[in-house]
Structure formats: structure tokens, C-alpha cells
Structure 1
Amino acid sequence: MEKGSSSKDKPGRGNLDEPISEGEISEPPYSVYTRKEKWVIVALVALAGFYSPLPANIYFPAIPQLSSAFNVTIEAMNQSVTVYLIFQGISPMLWGPLSDRYGRRLVFLACLSILVASSIGLALCPTDSFWLLLFLRCFQSGGSASTIALGAGVIGDIATTKERGGYFGMFNLGPMLAPCIAPAAGGAIAQAMGWRAIFWLVVIMVTVCLVFIALFLPETLRAISGNGSIPVSRHLRPIIPVVGRKYASATSSTDDAPPRKKQSINPFVLFTYPDVLVLLSFTGIVYAVYYTVTATISSTFKEIYPHLSETVLGLCYLPAGAGMIVGSSLTGKMLDWQYAQCKAKKGDLFTIEYARLRIMPVYLIIFVAGVLGWGWSLQARAHLAVPLILAVVLGWTSMGILNTTMTLNIDILQSRSSGATACTNLVRCSLAAILVSCIDRMTTALTIGWTYTFWAAICALLLPLMYLEIKMGPQWRRRREEREGV
């Protein structure tokens, strides 16, 4: 047994889908879905996850146009970014735990429906009602933000620890594609057709996703469907069961699933777990710094490079998005490889915390260097290519850090994976909202170079937290499992 683990399928142990040696009693598989079926499910939730960052990122290049249309300053219009971030952090704290208790499928449908309705309202919003714009942005955020937490929950439902890094990395390609292409699309559409067309595009795209989820996504919550073989209620079944079809006859013969123990819907208890708190602090600060960089690209570049059009400003987000895609896909494969290698070498001394976090210092050091370079390249008004190259580096390393910590959070809180991801969203989005709201004042008082030097130093001070997690995390986790009788 791995150090700090129990005999069940705990973090650091992916035994339920490993070959069973001769003489052992065969256990049911962790998931009845085949590898291809798992990829179909991952693709569906990745598509939904695409619409979590989309409304925020497609909006950034249009901020100067919106401030003119609503007759408010850029600083005032940035309030729409701040309220979006606030509700992006708060809403998963409701939807994530609800999905851990009542199922993923219905919550996906509810969130996407809210996103469609609020985007229609924004497209029709009168320009003399700035308050209404802020109000509807809250609902837009509330509908879109939780799809990442829900998708993380689905990954935890269908994937064992040893394969989870790869699935989670590929799932994150959905959320990472939006920051890559949405600003470019938003800038081009705003320039050609006006800012209202941005919201109509969101309405059309999310409606398509809503239809796909309703048609094909099965219920994966293990408290309801077990490993996928337990019959579920009629309203939890996909309209067209493209995965798990060999169990379709069983699910079609009953309207009620067998009762299963369900999790508490209170996610705030997770903040009392020291190992989780360390991961949330680390993730939140790094994400807030990176989000501030991306959120201010259009306004900062417009000031330093005034010749850039809105379309070009949108294209300036592509390097950051490309870096995020590379970071997400490579980190997923790296996490699975690290898991297998560490388990083979460490044996009884193996811990999931060490396997996941041992390359984290490399990501963090490169990220800190990128933040420093970003600030001083803009301070020096360097050639546009310099900050764009640095944006690739920042996108890659920030996603490497985020994927690693979120995967570990799911590992150590597998039965509450959506709640764990919701807590991550609350911390990172709250910190990002605070930082975005004060970044203009900081750059005015300290200059851009020294502002990002300050935040690079704060990020560098996080390094001891990772070593603390590696050393103390297994003990904290073991005590919690013993206390909770897991």
C-alpha cells in the first residue's frame, strides 16, 4: 500500500483498472465506459468548458468601444470585468456542490440555459443602462463559470488516478481554446459589426453546445450511476445514448435509480483542510497575476502601441492562448508519466503529492521570469514581438501550474471533485477581481515595470508552499481520511 493511502482506491492508487493477478478476486472496473467512450465524454465536457472563459475573453477587445457606447470611462467599464470575475468565483460554489449531490447532467443544462438567456439580454441592452450591463454580466458569469468545475467532476467520475492527468489535460483544451481565439474573434466582430454582435455570437454557439449536452452526455456522478452500470432516472439519461449503449436496455426499464449515499453540498468545509488550502493559495495567486496580464492586454497595448486596430488587438491574445493550449496538453501527458514513473521507483514510499508536484518549481521559476520580462518590456516600450513571445511563456507555465494543482485537488478529493474545483474558482477569481480592480492604480503609482516586479516577487515566495505540500500533504490527507472514516 502507498504511504498515506488506505486499501481503497485513494489518491496515489489507480488499482481498479489495473490487471488483476492470478488468484485475486475480480473487482468491478472503475468505469464501464471504454477508452473511446471516455474520450467522447471528455470531448463533450471540454466543449461545455470552452464557454466558461469565452464570454470574458471575447469581451476584452471591445472594452474601448463599449466605454464609448455607454459613455463611461475605461476604468468604469472595467467594473464589468470585476463583477464578472466575482460571480465567476461565487457561482461554482453553488453549482459544483449541487452537481456532486444531484448529478452533472442537469446542472450542465441549467448553467448553459442561464448563459444563453443572459447573453440575449446583453445583446439587447440599451446604452443608457450601464447598471443593466453590469447586472446581466453577473448572470452571464454565473451561467458560464461552473462548466469547468462540472467538467472536472466528470473527469473524476470516469478516470482513475493514473490516467486522470491525461484526461484532465485534454479537457482543459476546451477552456484554453477560448482565450486563444475569442479575443481575435471579438475584436474583428466588434470592429466590423459592433459590440452587440459579440453577444449574439455567444448565444448561437452556446445554444449548439446545449443541444449536444442534452442529446449525448450521460450522467456520470458515481453517487447516482456508480461506475456507469447503475440505472438512472429518465430525466438523467441522454436523449441519444452514444456511450454506454450496452447498458441502455437496463436504464430504459426503470425510472428510478437505486439510492446511493450523496455528498454534503457545503463546499466551504474544504477550506479547513490544510493541504487543500495550500493548493488553493498557490493556484489563486498565480492565476490572478496571469489573468491581470491578459485582462489588460487591450488597454495597455492600445496605450503603448496606439497604431493597433481593434482587430489587431484581438490577435494579440493569440500567443497567450497558444501557450495555454501547449501548457494544458503537455502537462496532462507529463502528469500521467510522472505518476507512473514515481510509483514504479518509490514503491511503498510513493505519494500522489510528490508525483504531481515535483516539477512544479520549474514551472514557477519560468513563470516568475516571464512576469518580470512582461512588465519591463512594456515599461521600455519594446518591439511588440517581445511581449507577445513572453505571453506564450506565461500562458504555457500558468496552465502547467493550474493543471497540476487542480488535478491534485481532484486526486485528494475525488468524491467531491466539482466542489474542490469550485473552491479553486472562488479563490482564483476573487483574487483576480481584486487585482484587476487595482492594477491601473498600481501601474500609475509604481510604473508597469515595478508593478509586475512586485507580483513576480509575490509568486516567487510561493515556492516553499509546494515543498510544504509534498512533505506534509500525505500526513494531512491520511488524518482527514481517518477522521472521516473514508
Structure 2
Amino acid sequence: MTPIPLGESRHSSSPNSSSSTLMSVSEIREKTASKTVSVADNDALVAGDDGQDHFNPPVPITTLDEGARGMRTVFPPVPLGGSMIPVDVEDEETGSPAGDGDVKLGGTDVEAGPSSPASEMDIFDRFTPRKKKIIVGIVSFCAFIAPICSSIFLPSIPQIAEQLHSSSSTIAYTVAIFIVVLGISPLIWSPLSGFYGRRFVYLISLPILVAASFGVARSQSVGVLIGTRVLQAIGGSCVLAVGAGSIGDIYKPTERGSAMGWYYSGALMGPTFAPVLGGLFSEYTRDTWRSAQYFIGAAGATAFLLVAFILPETAHPPLPHDRMKAAKGKRFVFYRFNPFTSLGLFRWMNVCAMSLSSAAVLLAIYTVLVPMSTLFKDRYHISNLAILGCLYLPSGLGNLLGARIAGPMADRTVKKYIKKRGYRRVEDRLRSAVPWGMFLLPASLITYGWLVHFGAGGIAAPLAVSVLPSMALMGVLTPQNTYLIDSMPTRSAEVIAVNNFLRYMFSAGASAWVLPMASRIGWGWTMTVSGFIVLASSGLVLATLKWGDQWRESANEKYHYEGTPADCRRPDGALSATEVIEKPGPGMPADKSTPLSNDSDHGEDEEVGHLPLSTNRRSQQVTATQRSVPRGTVSDIQMPPMHEVLSRTVSLSGASAHGGG
């Protein structure tokens, strides 16, 4: 058994001794840095001066409980990656061991059951179903705000150009600039969320959005407008990447589809309803288009208050920032990183294929949404901006219907194939995307284009058909995004960030070229091209269905990624230990659990102890990564590498609980 640091050994002490030592927290930390013990069955394994291991019970330490009733007795804490974990706490009134309750991991509470050991799935049960719905609602509301910013200009472009003494084409390009920044910024927010936690980056990004929105409203020139719009995109982009990770943090893979459907319905309804809001504000308020920006600022402030007072931290403990704070003895540690490191995830063929597919699908939808106000204004001579905005309502209805159908449909598909196969294959979720992407979406795009081209059915026919592409969009994107999270659960925010990066690059391109292309070849052929792009992207889905698991396993082995979900491991040893992370079971030693990291740049002084953790005092063992840091060298502690921040794993009772990084 590998010993782990605990506290001072006192061979003459016993747990029933009436004497205890009054120590400050700083003294406890100094005392617990010298000896090594392993707690098991109320005994301590002490490394003696003779080089032999001796069993001796740990000594309770009485500390001042600031802000409480006086003094309390605790057993010496165990460091976990630089953070202190109370091994046991005695009840202040009865003096009996607090056998059940919460275990602190790096400053974050992990709820453990009173009788059964923690398992990998326990990490998803930290919140009640009602609390999970509240989290989804808040995150979806935040995700609704950022896309509003990108398309709320659409019905007001002529008005903005007139007030700022510019042209409509120049103002239209600000939409493309906004979308580009919206795609790049998550590459910064995602690693920060892995290091500091989801809630922290929400609280930083939303004030930027609020301030920038008021700046846009006060713009008096095109230059100021572009600058404030860039800041607005930076502040609003955070939830678009990190929000999906928040959903993945709290739901099991078999339950994740429905929640992701609601989340993406919020994110995708923004571009649909934003023109309605923009038209109403521009037509019926004194400040015209500027009122819409004040509305966005107010919505962002509301989101900030919801996050500050209601939203809990969802990232799986321990957070790297908590470990670094404890190791360096600081209240805050700055994290420096290369934001473009995340683009290395495109080396995974399945990630690249799904990102290209979802980008192609979103490109096709933008060819419908972006030119709609201009198209119908010219074709049907509609001058009222509020009416032009209302033309987007059928697409919003399609998003809602698609979200309600696609999520549960994907979850049912996963459960169906679990019963057939006996284990969960991540790629099975993509089966639910095939009928939407191969049939409904391309067919509806082509139909819409030719109805507009020939003017058949007046204004009603193309508006009625516009429900179908948005509905099919949700049918494709919901399982694809959930698949990306399922395939890389310990890098969920990062994989969504690179996915959004590619998506918004394609969407910005669609915003720029759809009108010139339609003016040259007509709406019928323009939408036919979009339909065939979507059809080709469905080939990537089929290829991932067939070879995705091979691509994943090959890349995981090549790039040393060990985040394979436990329930996706084939039973009966079908894969070797190098291809899959084995879950400890009957006959397998407890110390064969998943290591925290296989990073090649770990120093030789790093030790890894593999012991299950339980709140039962009779079997208290801890898995931890230890770095031997001599006193006086705290400043030399190295910041964790990017992949470690985004691939956080802590072993609980022999099972792996993945951080959502």
C-alpha cells in the first residue's frame, strides 16, 4: 500500500485519549507535511525512523471553529493534489464520528451516500431533478441572449445605416464580424471554465455583455459600433461553449439528450426571435434600434443576477484552481494558456467529422434566416419593420418542436441499443440524426428555395415550409452535440468550443455570400446547393456511425486521452487494457483504478496512490496525485498543463468521476 501524507505520528497516542492539541490551521498544514500514513479501518500506517511501516491510530486535533460555537475536533486532513480534505469530523454534540455526509474535494462539496460507496454515476446525482431543471433554465436563458445580439440588427439595417451615415452593406458586414468573434471567443472561455469553474466565467463574461450592449446603443459612428459589437460578442459567447458543458456536468448520458434539446432550443431561438424584437423596437420606440440594445443589456443583467444568486457550480470537483490556491497559499491564481491549443481536438476524426457536419447544417439554416427580411421586403413590398421581424416566427416554432422531439428521440435510441448490445456505444446516439439530416432538412431547404424562386403560394407557402428546416436543424444538432460531449466527457466545454468555432466560421461565410449568390443564380439553385451540402454532411454522420469508435480509440491511444466513459467499455475484456480504461471489479486489485494523468512532463517526484474514498470511517482511503514540494519552494509550483485542466479526473471508491472541463 502506497503511503500518503497525513499528519504527525504519536506512537503513544490513542483515539480515546482525552488530551488533544490546540492548533491553528496554518500549524496543522505545517504538521501534516512531514509524515506519511494511510488511513484504513481506523488505523494509521506510519513511516518510522527505522524505515519500517507501523500501525498507529491518528490523533484528533482540536481547532478553533471561527464563527461557530467554539472548538471542534477533526482528524488530520489529507492533501489531494494540493487541497486539504477532512478525513473525518466528530459531531460537536455527541462526539461520535460523522460517518455520513459530504466529503470535501478541493474545496467543493461532493455528496456521498450514507451506505453505498460513491460510483461514477454518483457525480450526476449531486442535484435534485428540480434543481437540475432550474440549472437548465438559467443556462438556456443565458444562451438565448448571445444569438439575439447577432441577428437583432437584421430588420433595422437600413435604419442603422441612415443614422450612422453609412451603407446597408457596411452595417450588414458587422453581423459577419460579430459571428466570427462569437466563434473564436469560446476558445478562451472554455479553458478558463475548466480551470476556474463554470460559474466563475459566467460571472466574468455577462458583465462584459451588459457594458458592451449599452456601448452599442450609444454608438455614434461605424467604428465605435464595430468595436462595441466585438466586445458584445466576447461577452455573449461564453455560455454558447460552456453552457453545454454545464448540462453535461449534471445529467447522465442516457438522460442528456432532452436537457440538451432545451439548451439548444434557447441558443437557436435567439436568431429566430431577435428580428421580431428588433423590428418591434425599431418601429414602435422612440430610440428605435438603440432600444433593442438596451433590452439586451437588461437581459444580460438579469442573467448575471440569476447566476450570482441561484446557479451553483456544476463542474466536477476538484477544480484545478482550488488545488493551485492551496498549494501556493494564495486566494487567487492566474492561469496562462494558449487558447488555440483546443483546436488540437480536430486530430480526433470523429470530432472533426461531427464539427464539419454541424457547421454545414448551420450554414444551410443561415442561408434561410439571414436574407429573409430583405427577400420578403423586396418581393412582397413590406415596409413595416415589426411585420418583417414576425416573418421569423415559423422558424422559432420549428426550433421548439424539434427540441421537444429530437432530445427524447435520441435518448430512446441510446437506451434501445444498450439493451441490444449490453453496453453503451457512444455513436448509437447519432442514429437519431440520420432521418432528419438525410431526408427532411435537404428536402425542406430545396422546397423552400423553389417556392420563393417561382413565387408559388404567395407569402404563406414559403413561411409554412420554413418551419421544417428549423425543426430538422434541432433533430441533427441535438444528438451531434450530445455525442461530442459523450465521446469526450472530461473535455466537454473544450470540444463544444471547437465545434462552435467551426460552426460560426461557416455561418459568417453564409451571411456574407448568400445574397450575392442568390442574385446571380436565383433562390431556387442557391437553396438547392445548401440542400446538397447538408446531404453531403450526412455522409459524415454515417461514416462516424460505422467507424467512429475506431477513430476515437485510435486517437485516444495516440494522444493519451483516458476519458472513456465507464459504461461504454465493452464487457468481458473485449478490449485490451491499452484500448480502454478498466473499471475495478471482482478479482481486480483496488489500485488498478484510472490514474489521474499520464502526462509525460510529470516529475519523478510524483506519486499516485490508488485507494477508494468513502465517508464510512471504517474504510477511509483516498486516491490522490501528490507532488513532493519542499517547504520554501511554493513559488516553483508549476501551473497544470492545458490537457490536465480540461481532463480532470478524481477516483471515488474505485470508479472514475470525470470533471466536465
Return the alpha-carbon distance in structure 2 between the equivalents of residues 376 and 86 of structure 1.
Answer: 30
> What displacement does 1:485 show?
5.1
Q: Kindly provide the CA deviation profile for residues 346-397 of structure 1, in whole angstroms up to 9, marking residues without a partner as x.
A: 325x522123334423433211011111211111123111111121101100
**Residue 294 (structure 1) aligned with residue 373 (structure 2):** no
> What displacement does 1:256 show?
7.8
- Corresponding residue of 2:405: 330
**Residue 314 (structure 1) aligned with residue 389 (structure 2):** yes
Matches within 5 A, 1:357-376: 357-376=431-450
Return the alpha-carbon distance in structure 1 between the equivalents of residues 429 and 148 of structure 2.
Answer: 32
**Residue 158 (structure 1) aligned with residue 272 (structure 2):** no
> What displacement does 1:139 show?
1.3
**Residue 182 (structure 1) aligned with residue 274 (structure 2):** yes
- Corresponding residue of 1:248: none
Return the alpha-carbon distance in structure 1 between the equivalents of residues 138 and 310 of structure 2.
Answer: 8
- Amino acid corresponding to residue 275 of structure 2 in structure 1: P
Matches within 5 A, 1:238-253: none
Q: Kindly provide the CA deviation profile for residues 196-221 of structure 1, in whole angstroms up to 9, marking residues without a partner as x.
A: 11111111111111111111111121
**Residue 476 (structure 1) aligned with residue 551 (structure 2):** yes
Matches within 5 A, 1:62-461: 62-126=156-220, 129-193=221-285, 194-224=288-318, 266-347=341-422, 350-382=424-456, 383-461=458-536
- Count residues in correspondence: 436
Return the alpha-carbon distance in structure 2 between the equivalents of residues 159 and 255 of structure 1.
Answer: 33
The structure-2 alpha-carbon separation of the partners of 1:255 and 1:161, relative to structure 1 and needing over 3 Å to count, comes to farther
Deviates more, 1:171-180 or 1:444-453: 171-180
Runs of 4+ in 1 over 4 A off after TM superposition: 23-26, 254-257, 262-265
Return the alpha-carbon distance in structure 1 between the equivalents of residues 132 and 169 of structure 2.
Answer: 45
Quick one: percent identity of the two aligned structures?
A: 28
Return the alpha-carbon distance in structure 1 between the equivalents of residues 241 and 402 of structure 2.
Answer: 19
> What displacement does 1:330 show?
1.6
Return the alpha-carbon distance in structure 2 between the equivalents of residues 316 and 403 of structure 1.
Answer: 25
Question: Runs of 5+ in structure 2 lacking a partner?
Answer: 1-112, 563-661
- Kindly indicate which of the two structures has a greater share of residues assigned to strand: 2
**Contact 2:437–2:534 (CA under 8 A) maintained in structure 1:** no
**SS of residue in 2 equivalent to 1:461:** helix
Return the alpha-carbon distance in structure 2 between the equivalents of residues 480 and 34 of structure 1.
Answer: 36
**Contact 1:122–1:133 (CA under 8 A) maintained in structure 2:** yes
**Contact 1:122–1:199 (CA under 8 A) maintained in structure 2:** yes
**Contact 1:97–1:264 (CA under 8 A) maintained in structure 2:** no
Q: Kindly provide the CA deviation profile for residues 135-186 of structure 1, in whole angstroms up to 9, marking residues without a partner as x.
A: 2111111111221211101112111111111211122232234334332121
- Amino acid corresponding to residue 396 of structure 1 in structure 2: M
**Contact 1:51–1:147 (CA under 8 A) maintained in structure 2:** no
> What displacement does 1:326 show?
1.3
- Amino acid corresponding to residue 379 of structure 1 in structure 2: H
**SS of residue in 2 equivalent to 1:278:** helix
**Contact 1:146–1:422 (CA under 8 A) maintained in structure 2:** no
Q: Kindly provide the CA deviation profile for residues 411-469 of structure 1, in whole angstroms up to 9, marking residues without a partner as x.
A: 11111111111111111110111121112221121111111112212222222211110
**SS of residue in 2 equivalent to 1:30:** helix
- Kindly indicate which of the two structures has a greater share of residues assigned to helix: 1
**Contact 2:146–2:237 (CA under 8 A) maintained in structure 1:** yes
> What displacement does 1:292 show?
2.5
TM-score, structure 1 normalization: 0.84
Return the alpha-carbon distance in structure 1 between the equivalents of residues 227 and 459 of structure 2.
Answer: 36
**Contact 2:373–2:388 (CA under 8 A) maintained in structure 1:** yes
> What displacement does 1:343 show?
0.8
- Corresponding residue of 1:466: 541
**Residue 30 (structure 1) aligned with residue 123 (structure 2):** yes
**Contact 2:194–2:319 (CA under 8 A) maintained in structure 1:** no
Structure possessing the higher radius of gyration over alpha carbons = 2
Q: Kindly provide the CA deviation profile for residues 45-69 of structure 1, in whole angstroms up to 9, marking residues without a partner as x.
A: 1121111211123222112211222
- Amino acid corresponding to residue 30 of structure 1 in structure 2: I
Q: Kindly provide the CA deviation profile for residues 231-262 of structure 1, in whole angstroms up to 9, marking residues without a partner as x.
A: 979x9xxxxxxxxxxxxxxxxxx9989x9xx9
Task: State the Cα RMSD in Å.
Answer: 2.6
The structure-2 alpha-carbon separation of the partners of 1:359 and 1:293, relative to structure 1 and needing over 3 Å to count, comes to closer
- Corresponding residue of 1:16: none
- Amino acid corresponding to residue 442 of structure 2 in structure 1: V
Relative contact order (alpha carbons < 8 A, sep ≥ 6): 1 or 2 greater?
1
**Of 41, 53, 66, the match for 2:135:** 41
**Contact 2:444–2:469 (CA under 8 A) maintained in structure 1:** yes
- Amino acid corresponding to residue 197 of structure 2 in structure 1: G
- Corresponding residue of 1:12: none
